[in-house]
Amino acid sequence: MTAYDKNNIFAKILRGEIPCKKVHEDEYVLAFNDINPQAPVHILVIPKGAYVSIDDFGANASESEIAGFYRAVAKIAQENNLAAGGFRTIANTGLNGGQEVPHFHVHLLGGRSLGPMLAKAA
Ligand code: 5GP
């Protein structure tokens, strides 16, 4: 697992060095609108702790950080009226997953029918 880069974009957003359109914040998470939305609602939920990816988070975060994170994802979906119609969560991980920002994040997408989960495999 690669070491955490404290200068990644989301670390800078957490420190307030780069602005974001915040939709939710609590002890465990910050959530903000994706700068390049792929759906009418596209929110990024990130833990406040320094974790590279979901495998780092699952292996090294405390029980309260993990519970706090996923409870917040569910709450943010409710707060943004996604739960009734359905929505999608994505956590891109590493090279094959196409992860661009090396701070664990969950994409929360909704507001329309999202179609198939993946493009057809080659
Ligand atoms: P990944 O490919 O790592 O799963 O997703 C990274 C996401 O972060 C992309 O959807 C991209 O649009 C978003 N993103 C990259 N830089 C910024 C930024 O500076 N601000 C915001 N709000 N989103 C960003």
Is pTM beyond 0.75 here? Answer: yes
* pLDDT tens-digit readout, 51-100: 999 999 999 999 999 999 999 999 999 999 999 999 999 999 999 999 99
Domain ranges of the chain: 9-110
Residues tagged active-site: 105
Q: What is the pLDDT of residues 3-26, one digit of tens each?
A: 999 999 999 999 999 999 999 999
pLDDT band at 111 (very low <50, low <70, confident <90, very high): very high
Under CATH, which number does the domain 9-110 receive? 3.30.428.10
Instruction: Supply the DSSP string of 37-104, one letter for each residue.
Output: -SSSEEEEEEESS--SSHHHHHHHS-HHHHHHHHHHHHHHHHHTT-TTT-EEEE---HHHHT--SSS-
Smallest CA separation from ligand 1 atom 17, residue: 35
Pocket test for ligand 1, best of 2, 30, 34 (most atoms within 8 A of CB): 34
To test the ligand 1 pocket, which listed residue (41, 44, 109) has its Cβ within 8 A of the most ligand atoms?
44
